[in-house]
Structure 1
Amino acid sequence: MPYPPDVERWRELVSAYFAPEDVNKALWVILHESGGNSNAIGDSGSSLGLFQLNINGLGAGLSEQTRFTPSENIRQAAIHVATTNNWTPWGEGALFRGEPFGSLGNKPYPGDKKNEFAEDTVAIPGQPAPPVINLEDIDEEGFELFSPSGENFEGQFDGYTSNLEFAEKRILNLVLEHNLSFDPNQGYGKTTTDELGDPVFTLHEEANMWSEVFFRSEQGLERISALRDSGLTTAGRKSAEAFLDTSILENAAGQKNFDDFRSRIDALAAVENIPIQRATDIASM
Structure 2
Amino acid sequence: MSATPSDRRIRTVAMLVNPAAGGGRGERIAERAAARLRSYGLEVVSLRGAHAQESLDLARQAVADGVDALVVCGGDGMVSLAVQAQAFSGVPIGIIPAGTGNDLAREYGIPLTSPEDAADVVVAGRAEQVDLGQATPDGGEPRLFASVLCAGLDSAVNRRVNEMSILRGPLRYVLASAIEFPTYRPRPFRMTFDAGEPGEETVETEVLLSAFAITRTYGGDMRIAPDADRSDGLFDVCYVGRISKPRLAWHFRRIYSGTHVGLRGVTTRRCRTVRIDAPEVEAFADGDAVAPLPVTVEVLPGAGLFLVPG
Instruction: Work out whether the TM-score is over 0.5.
Output: no
User: More relative contact order in 1 or in 2 (CA 8 Å, sep 6+)?
Assistant: 2
- TM-score norm. by structure 1 comes to 0.34
Q: Which structure shows the bigger proportion of residues in strand conformation?
A: 2
* Structure having the higher Rg: 1
